Amino acid sequence: MTVNFSNTAVIGAGAMGRGIAQIAAQAGSQVLLLDTFEGAAERGRDAILAQWRKLQEKGKLDAAQLEAFSGRVQIAGSMQDLASCDLVIEAIVEDIEVKRKLFREIEAVVSPSATLVSNTSSLSVTTIATALKHPERMAGFHFFNPVPLMKVVEVVAGFKTDPEVCRKLAGYATQMGHSAVQTKDTPGFIVNHAGRGYGTEALRVAGESVADFATIDRILKDQAGFRLGPFELLDLTALDVSHPVMESIYRQYYEEPRYRPSVITAQRLAAGALGRKSGEGFYRYPDGAMQQVAEPAVPSVDTIPPVWVSPRAARRPELLKLVHALGAQLESGAAPSSTALILVAPLGFDVTTVAAVDRLDATRTVGIDMMVDDAATKRRVLATNPATRRDMRDAAHALFARDGKAVSVIRDSGGFVTQRVVATIVNIACDMCQQGVCTPADLDLAVRLGLGYPQGPLAMGDLYGPTNMLEILFNLQTVYGDPRYRPSPWLRRRGALGLSLTHQEE
């Protein structure tokens, strides 16, 4: 197989540059590694060779492959050595003026037919390309760290980028063993843009004192299947990386409410509580290991009161079967008796609103999140309202923990935790499709591979139901009065018509 670019240069021998150089050589390219810091390119090449030796030791490379790969990575002594390269990949500091200066220098050396790309994760490819006499030959080629393991690359078309450049780069990514996704040059491209919902909405939940960080993490992992909770993830990426990205995308979109950052991360960044690398973040890391936060014990309750389930509860037949299976006495009257535990299961509304509108006794009313099929979740989530009595809260907790399934009890919140976080993720993804940032298929693929979500955001919306997503967002808007929750036209129209969120118009 002939590789799309036979002579590739990588400028910047840090973690990203090394990873790109490694997979480019594995694809069959001759690679020149250049770094302006003395000895950095040599250390980068040594690190690449060490990675290949480890792969050989594990039986993933043979001696012939190791020798062939090693012979393809060389050190460039100066910019002039790049003259014969047909592809130059920049992987240096995220400073737009430094990048623009570098590309002017590159263009003066390489041939007019050479392709120039930036590995930028957050800067405008169009703006960087204005430094060039021929901006049509430049694109974004955004890899994720660690490059050999994160099997997705965003191919970013600047305003003047020749479509053939993107086509050729996408093919090259495939030759490298990665999946290429095509995106317009918009703030955050695909992955960092689509990822705005998870952390920012969880921060809003925490900022309302709905639950502590550990509880929110447990809920989103156990109910929705995320590998890491949002606060575990923020600790892993570190706030000195993640908070500036939140602010950057918010500002680049002219303070769009959907991307609003949180004062919580701003304060923690200022305090130096960055996460794992500083030893303290949303969790503590004595000796480098995360200190687990104990989960509240299930309360001991002598008697469970009879249970009355609201006629308007989501998944009401399923909820009735569950309560019966757990051994509680069910009431079937049109209204609850004076001693009953009152259960509501709203979508998007908070428990307070439901109790007030339905004229229920708020002191005995508890909410349960039924957006997710109970059989498909590892955790049940209950919510009190400000008037809920302690005995009723404890009775509900004890009842729903009877079969051993984990239970979290939170304070009142429109959409509990999972509903509002999932709906925010889905809504942002839908709006990306409405803007034409990328195709629905590329969006879901990029997010699954780049963020490790259990499904792509559009598939997630289809799983839980576009009409449910729409109802949750409309009701969240009612509860909070925040334009952050306004549904995207893409979601509103498909939800209203019963179409898949991946549906594209003819």
CB-CB contact of 362 with 412 (8 Å)? no
Is 178 one of the catalytic residues?
Answer: no
- Work out the number of other CB atoms within 10 angstroms of the CB of residue 37: 10
Q: Of the residues 192, 248, 468, 488, which is catalytic?
A: 192
Is 243 one of the catalytic residues?
Answer: no
Is 145 one of the catalytic residues?
Answer: no
Cross-strand bridge partners of residue 294: none
Rounded Cα–Cα distance for residues 502 and 189 (Å): 19
Angle at 413 between CA 408 and CA 414, to 5 degrees: 125
Residue 75 corresponds to which amino acid? I
Note the Cα 249 to chain centre separation in Å. Answer: 14
CB burial class (10 A; 0-12, 13-18, 19+) of residue 368?
A: buried
Rounded Cα–Cα distance for residues 77 and 38 (Å): 10
CB-CB contact of 145 with 22 (8 Å)? no
Is 471 one of the catalytic residues?
Answer: no
Rounded Cα–Cα distance for residues 186 and 196 (Å): 14
Q: Of the residues 4, 118, 121, 408, which is catalytic?
A: 121
Q: Of the residues 107, 154, 232, 280, which is catalytic?
A: 154
Question: How far is CA 233 from each of CA 51, 144, 145, 204, 278, rounded to the nearest angstrom?
Answer: 26, 15, 14, 16, 14
Rounded Cα–Cα distance for residues 29 and 69 (Å): 9
Per residue in 261-281, is it b (16+ CB within 10 Å) or e — as a string?
bbebbeebbeeebbbbbbebb
Cross-strand bridge partners of residue 115: 87
Rounded Cα–Cα distance for residues 482 and 498 (Å): 26
Q: Of the residues 29, 90, 107, 142, which is catalytic?
A: 142
Q: Where are the alpha helices (DSSP H) in 178-212?
A: 191-194, 196-207
**Residues acting as catalytic residues:** 121, 142, 154, 192
